[in-house]
């Protein structure tokens, strides 16, 4: 199986302009859920979980046929009742019945509970981009945050490998996250606030941005 987490839009370096905090959250190692738990009580709501088709930048990233069925799971990560992250994961249907079968059974628990406790799982480098209305993720994220006038959102993605099968996870940061970080930085005076301009424009083995096996 071959994958490429970067392309013309997804890069290992965060897009510009970005605040220091935005760059930090787009490039943080480890579990995003664990980082969110430091901000408050994290709850997860599953908005979609079913067999479907991957988007253009997804099937290209995983080296799949555009018509190959995939198992898709989309969730909203809430912190103290407010939406902070919209996440989408997918793997070929056949992989969801073999190496990634636990993804079908995890229910309303974060995938981090699975990924960062299994030492056989490897992870690619993180890639990020600015997501606009041209990308299907934008509308779903806007719907999750109940804000439809957003010009652009910041997202990151990486590929997890288990038993030779890929699991692509894309995490889109919602305005609530940046608002919380801005409030915290103002209270502590420890960081520059996130501006509207910025918004517009555990153990795990890390692999390369490009991977090929067998």
What does pLDDT average to in each consecutive run of 10 residues of the chain (214 residues)?
91 95 96 97 97 97 96 98 98 97 95 93 97 96 89 96 97 96 77 42 43 48
CATH code, 138: 3.40.1410.10
**Predicted local distance difference test score (pLDDT) of residue 190:** 57
Tokens of 180: 């919380």
What's the confidence (pLDDT) of residue 211? 52
Residues annotated in the binding site for substrate, as ranges?
Answer: 73, 111, 171
Q: Which domain holds residue 88?
A: 2-212
Annotated binding site: 73, 111, 171
- pTM listed for this prediction: 0.88
pLDDT for 148: 81
* Domains in the chain, number: 1
Question: Minimal CA–CA distance to 26: which of 208, 60, 18?
Answer: 18
C-alpha to C-alpha distance for 172 and 154, rounded to whole angstroms: 6
């Amino acid at each position: 199986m071959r994958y490429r987490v970067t392309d013309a839009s997804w890069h290992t370096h965060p897009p510009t302009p970005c605040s220091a905090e935005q760059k930090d959250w787009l490039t943080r190692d480890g579990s995003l859920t664990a980082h969110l738990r430091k901000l408050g009580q994290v709850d997860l709501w599953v908005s979609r979980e079913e067999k479907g088709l991957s988007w253009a930048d997804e099937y290209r990233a995983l080296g799949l046929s555009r018509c190959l069925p995939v198992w898709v799971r989309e969730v909203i990560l809430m912190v103290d009742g407010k939406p902070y992250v919209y996440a989408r994961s997918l793997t070929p249907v056949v992989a969801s019945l073999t190496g990634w079968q636990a993804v079908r059974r995890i229910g309303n628990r974060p995938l981090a509970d699975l990924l960062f406790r299994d030492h056989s799982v490897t992870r690619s480098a993180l890639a990020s981009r600015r997501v606009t209305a041209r990308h299907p993720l934008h509308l779903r994220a806007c719907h999750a945050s109940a804000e439809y006038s957003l010009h652009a959102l910041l997202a990151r993605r990486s590929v997890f490998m288990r038993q030779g099968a890929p699991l692509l996870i894309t995490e889109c940061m919602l305005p609530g996250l940046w608002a919380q970080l801005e409030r915290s930085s103002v209270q502590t005076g420890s960081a520059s606030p996130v501006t509207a301009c910025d918004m517009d424009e555990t153990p795990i083995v890390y692999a390369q941005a490009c991977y090929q096996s067998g």
